[in-house]
Structure 1
């Protein structure tokens, strides 16, 4: 039974031990080993997420905080749990990913540097959140405390009510201190592909489409780009090409740039789109030119746009005029334009 009453409203400063006592875990204590995701099920059905910028740096995280947001509103990036090795989308991370399906209210706290008189860290309540339904997370790469390169999941949290959310400039994602191009390894054949709970995945979806519930209602999210790259990667493997991609941190910016695919064998950078329209191709051209500026041996780097079908003659002429290769998939699954001439 709860030992006291605690209302989750802004402003609120508390501790993890007090939250645990009120919401059903009287034996909880303030421990450095506590995970950043804590479930309070029956009868409260709440999921508490604690973002600790200082502890995150110790564990190799540097992604947490408010981002620039988008047309749907602000977004808080939160790195999943798992301090060493590749993170997984099961366990507590799976609970966070599927908190709505599990009927759990998601509440975000930020750990403050100062501590209470009892020695516990102060937890500032930010507000009730929800994992973004359309783009629930992004995959990032960073080094853990053992200096091992590993994959982490950065969840995209949205306020349920912006007016009831404590959004402060000081909680924003910090800009990169220098520009770094970090090669991302391709999973080895024997390495299992991480199964996202409830069939949610990043851009590389294996299915043709999925239904995402967003603020404006249900929306069909097209996954053609993911299917296209799955087929093209198999094509590259059959041609015995080695490929990977990069994570580009740009000095003074908070976002990370991640090209779709880099073919090491051909020294070629690919950007793919799910539709062969002019607007999509123009976007791909801009992305490729932006990426190229940060890659070594850029003077010999070849750029290519990957499409699910053949574009119009004028769009083909646009790519040719910009010196960018075109590779597109045929109805029989083969690819025209590869290998690059």
Structure 2
């Protein structure tokens, strides 16, 4: 049975030791990075980015491009058991409604409470095969995301990486099923379909004489990479493997986010890129008519394959 309680710690509060936190809330193991006080549904998670860097698991712990926070699963020797002991207590929050309370350690101050998180739609990813290693994917659910960025990047990094861009020659992603990572946020099959379509569209743009680039946007300490950037027509293109409503809605949010940050970059006056970019979405087929109308109202171009007997692509909407 779970005990009803009121969470006593405000977002942003700082504690010198884990035991100060477990003493305040009346339970929990102060020697563990994951702990659930007896009778609670909520789980406390303590992350130490500097220790992750020092001990070689920084690739499994930290802030991700999509805003999730990865937390390395427990288990130091051999294959990690994702459904055992403290790891299981994190997985249990999917069904018992418990919050994941994230604290991030800073060497000069202590443990900062960032706020409540939940497991992402894909709750964990496998990052290594031999031995088998995992990372939990934590999604903010009322947490202070600005504090999260600040705690995971230095002020210098935030200042350097905020609202800047970098470009490089476009390189098609691998379309080989075996080379697509297991920990992709979409299935390997969906990723493969998206990569195939993206490659065909990029090659088609180049055949039209367009300059195609890989565009990397640096925002709040994170680098966000777009699918395609047609610098000739100043279009940022988001590709999707499906024309379902969910995929189109996601693409709309992503591409408008990219365009907003590109158009408000610090180097807009000094770099050689177009000053303003426009949004576009690449789909494998026509979406429902109301979604086409929605994209048109937002001045988002829609591209789809020209047809079975015709090579290339065509526009459904014009920005």
TM range (shorter): 0.3 to 0.5
Q: Which structure has greater helix proportion? A: 2
Q: So what's the TM-score if we normalise by structure 1?
A: 0.44
Q: So what's the TM-score if we normalise by structure 2?
A: 0.46
